[in-house]
Chain A
Amino acid sequence: MAGFRLSPTLRTWLLRISAVLLVVYVCFGGYVWWAMHQTPEKFGQVMAKMPGPVPFLIFPFETAWMHARAGNLSIGDAAPDFSLVKLDKSDHVQLSSFASQRRPVVLIFGSYT
């Protein structure tokens, strides 16, 4: 079976194009990775400029996100205390007050949008 041979010139150009695409891919991925470590506002600004679903399709976005937003708390760590105002402004809620009553607490972080 006759082998398919590329001319040396074509091969050189294909290698160059591949190298350029690789550099662009790494730089673009690095930019997204960097953005994932910024504030939510900065990350949102970066993602708003992305061409549609491209970052989700060509990068392991979910895997990177899980690492970038892993956070510092681990199972068994003392939960950082806070005292936050209730939405109806009727009172403050201090997290440590539940532990002093030996009551577990579920925390659900989120927003409307």
Chain B
Amino acid sequence: MVYITEAHPSDVWQMESNVKDKVVFASPKDEAERAIVAGACVRKLGIKIPAVLDEFGNSTEQSYTGWPDRMYLIDAGGRVAYKSKPGPFGFKSSELKAALNRLLSTRASR
């Protein structure tokens, strides 16, 4: 997981659903604050996959147009094998699963 700029911080664009779920965080002011929110996210949601923090200038998010959420599959040669449409509308885990299966079956057949 690449932890990026908050989608709905309380001081910018608060969502009622986040209030209901008690996920209320103001925009982090620096990388340390982003790390605190990211840590809460990983703990509360029980995320097991490795998580890294985008630097505060958001360079990785911008390279990948990752905000507010998005998925990529990078193949073993370092090339984009799957790119989801931008979230939230395009965040479809079933598409990623299919792309992963295609990639892995291609590798297995070699």
- Given that A70-B65, A113-B6 are contacting pairs, would A102 and B38 also be in contact in the complex, using a CB cutoff of 8 Å? no
Q: Other than the known A107-B72, A113-B8, what 20 A-B pairs have Cβ atoms closer than 8 Å?
A: A40-B68, A44-B13, A66-B86, A69-B86, A73-B63, A84-B55, A87-B3, A87-B52, A102-B76, A104-B81, A104-B100, A108-B2, A108-B69, A108-B71, A109-B4, A109-B61, A109-B66, A110-B4, A110-B66, A112-B38
Residue of A nearest to B87 (CB): A110
> Interface on B for A, CB 8 Å cutoff?
1-10, 12-15, 18, 23-25, 27, 35, 37-42, 44-45, 49-55, 59-61, 63-83, 85-87, 89-90, 96, 100, 103, 107
Q: For chain A residues 12-51, which have a beta carbon within 8 Å of chain B?
A: 40-41, 44-45, 47-48
Asked if A59 is at the interface (CB within 8 A of a chain B CB), the reply is no
Enumerate the 6 nearest inter-chain pairs by beta-carbon distance, A residue then B residue, closest first. Answer: A71-B65, A109-B66, A99-B78, A112-B41, A69-B86, A44-B13
> Is B3 in contact with A113, judged by CB distance below 8 angstroms?
no
Q: How many residues of A are counted as interface, with CB atoms below 8 angstroms from the partner's CB atoms?
A: 44
Interface flags for A59-73 (1: CB within 8 Å of B; 0: not) read 000100110011111
Asked if A10 is at the interface (CB within 8 A of a chain B CB), the reply is no
> Is B53 in contact with A85, judged by CB distance below 8 angstroms?
yes
Residue of B nearest to A89 (CB): B35
Task: Give the CA-CA distance A65 to B2 in the complex, in Å.
Answer: 21
Task: Give the CA-CA distance A99 to B73 in the complex, in Å.
Answer: 12
> Is B78 in contact with A71, judged by CB distance below 8 angstroms?
no
Task: Give the CA-CA distance A99 to B74 in the complex, in Å.
Answer: 9
> Is B69 in contact with A113, judged by CB distance below 8 angstroms?
no
A108 to chain B, nearest CB (A): 5
Interface flags for A81-103 (1: CB within 8 Å of B; 0: not) read 01011110100010110110011
Task: Give the CA-CA distance A76 to B79 in the complex, in Å.
Answer: 5
- Given that A48-B14, A84-B2 are contacting pairs, would A79 and B41 also be in contact in the complex, using a CB cutoff of 8 Å? no
